[in-house]
Structure 1
């Protein structure tokens, strides 16, 4: 373990958001531990030198004791990394965090109240709940269809989304973990624009240098596509609800990123430029 007295432990560190929190903390000069259930099989290329990879499993709180040594900031996810079931181990994790002297905790909201989030917000340790809307990285689900057919096939193509760059979620988390003044806050995190499917396709087309056609699916066609992709009925029901009737918080840009980090939220055009190669044909 590192001997630095100001260490931040990031759980879910190989995920879309967790990876960004690790990188943001490191860029800000902090010592970072990335928690994984199996360091040997973590598959985490891209972590710079200086990130300490440690073993631990949120479903087995005793395994966290060594990882929590000397930790001042702790980022938590609310689900089991193996099966994505809601974790029931929150009270024990919080007890261990308090015993280790953790000063601040951030929690990535799991879509509603969860046992772990409830344990954290009732813990007495300064906490911040991160509540991002749709991730810009979700557009990677279109990559195969765009590479093969220059096409995006989606229902409800006129729906608006204030989707957020995953790096901005990481930036908000890093500030909340390392600076005072964010305890007891629930931060809704959005991007700077409300975009339709057509808007996103146009941004991706501009980034990759090739036109993209948008084909609107009926609800029945969308169900068939999602089931063919192996989505569970629970996930499909969620998608129908949020895509067919996106709540105001999912389609209304707000200034959390700028207010917390001191810089503007990144646009989808910026995300598209950063990830353009994923949408380009290879031959």
Structure 2
């Protein structure tokens, strides 16, 4: 039977696809425009828009397991079609915002909670993955890094435990191919609590540059980020960061407890991606 990987162009979906391919699984990669998917030879591609039920039947035909990203519009219909198609397991890429402080009023948490609840109520076997901030969020500094050594940042003392996308992918593969995470919700953090200031210090050290932080007020940060972050997501991020100022982030839920391999550090991520940052 075939494993369907939705979001196959994404930071996690792409990595999961590569791992499953190397292990010899039958795979189908989906995207709204499958012609844009860059997949290994022999991997089937299919059009799938999680907002468009007309695309569900073809995408799910012959599928046994699904790596699913969180899209609330159409989720109930998608799960109904998955059950009809004989899908055995859903692995959902959700977010730790669902269990964060003030989550009941957080638009990003609400977005993911709708999908989590639908998956848990579907009757299908599932694993819900709740990663924290991705290390790849650091790409948000790339424009400033390319322009110079002064970096604008709101709430630079906010602490996060960023998680490497490879760690998320490793756990997702376990969830898709083994039984030990079935019907569980799995929190994922990185191995270190870091402030944004410390992250930028690490980036500077790896790049051999002395970076200077220009601390923005909340209002200045909101005005600057509103150019590229949708308002509900921006409100959620700023609230999370403000609440995290001076609060050590939980690092107890690394991938190591599942994979047996130490969680990848932020410095490792920067060493791998530094050439794309600046």
Name the TM tier (shorter chain). 0.7 to 0.9
The question of whether the paired residues in 1 share the 8 Å contact of 2:163 and 2:189 is answered with yes
Correspondences of 1:20-35 after superposition (within 5 Å): 20-35=15-30
Secondary structure of residue in 2 paired with 1:275: helix
Secondary structure of residue in 2 paired with 1:264: coil
> How many residue pairs are counted as aligned between the two chains?
264
Secondary structure of residue in 2 paired with 1:193: coil
Which residue matches 1:172?
A: 171
TM-superposed deviation, 1:237: 1.7
Q: Report the Cα distance in structure 2 between the residues aligned to 1:244 and 1:153, rounded to whole angstroms.
A: 16
> Hey, which of these two has a bigger chunk of helix by percent?
2
Which residue matches 1:57?
A: 49
Q: Deviations over 1:125-156 (max 9, x none)?
A: 11011111111111001001011112221121
Unaligned runs of 5+ in 2: 96-108
Which residue matches 1:91?
A: 76
- Quick check: 53-62 or 129-138, which moved more? 53-62
- Quick check: 96-105 or 167-176, which moved more? 96-105
Which residue matches 2:235?
A: 237
> Under a length normalisation based on structure 2, what TM-score does the superposition of the two structures give?
0.87
Q: Report the Cα distance in structure 1 between the residues aligned to 2:127 and 2:62, rounded to whole angstroms.
A: 20
> Under a length normalisation based on structure 1, what TM-score does the superposition of the two structures give?
0.85
Determine whether 1:72 maps to 2:64.
yes
**For the structure 1 residues 249 and 218, does the alpha-carbon distance in structure 2 shift closer, same or farther, using more than 3 Å as the test?**
closer
Unaligned runs of 5+ in 1: 80-85
Which residue matches 1:83?
A: none
TM-superposed deviation, 1:249: 10
Correspondences of 1:1-283 after superposition (within 5 Å): 5=1, 7-40=2-35, 42=36, 44-45=37-38, 47-79=39-71, 86-87=72-73, 89-109=74-94, 111-112=109-110, 114-227=113-226, 229-246=227-244, 251-280=249-278
Secondary structure of residue in 2 paired with 1:17: helix
Q: Report the Cα distance in structure 2 between the residues aligned to 1:48 and 1:219, rounded to whole angstroms.
A: 44
The question of whether the paired residues in 1 share the 8 Å contact of 2:7 and 2:30 is answered with yes
- Quick check: 159-168 or 247-256, which moved more? 247-256
The question of whether the paired residues in 2 share the 8 Å contact of 1:134 and 1:250 is answered with no
TM-superposed deviation, 1:250: 8.8
**For the structure 1 residues 224 and 266, does the alpha-carbon distance in structure 2 shift closer, same or farther, using more than 3 Å as the test?**
same
- What is the CA RMSD across the aligned residues, in angstroms? 2.2
